[in-house]
Amino acid sequence: MAIKSLEDLKKMREATLAKVQLREAGQNVDGNIEVMIGLATCGIAAGGREAMQAIIDQLAQENITDVRVVRVGCLGYCHSEPTVQVNIPGEEPVLYGNVTEAVAREIVTKHIKGKETLNDNVLMQTFTKA
């Protein structure tokens, strides 16, 4: 994006601050649910791309439109890849590990849609940073 005015610069600043806030605190400012998928080398090797595609497919099947799926790097839990972090505004972030395609679909149907945490796959539930 070319910066042609002070307004362009302000818009770019706001967008960048929102990304930093999401990265540092697991929070977003637009009120949408964020699903962060660890897709560093370790995540990809363990099936992270398939888990991400399953989440995207399930969101479409459930007609859920207020969720943003975000590819991120390593979340630091290589032993439990693929990892998926769900950030619902007003709730503690939940970090899931060993997310297969079936678990990815359950994250959408049970956690995002049904507000029920999948306890068998939770790596961490109370934290401020991923």
Report whether 30 contacts 17 (CB < 8 A): no
> How many degrees, rounded to 5, is the angle at CA 29 between CA 94 and CA 98?
20
pLDDT at 58 over 90: yes
- Per-residue pLDDT of 70-117, as tens digits, reads 999 988 899 999 999 999 988 889 999 999 999 999 999 999 999 999
What is d(CA 80, CA 6) in angstroms, rounded to the nearest whole number?
45
pLDDT band at 129 (very low <50, low <70, confident <90, very high): very low
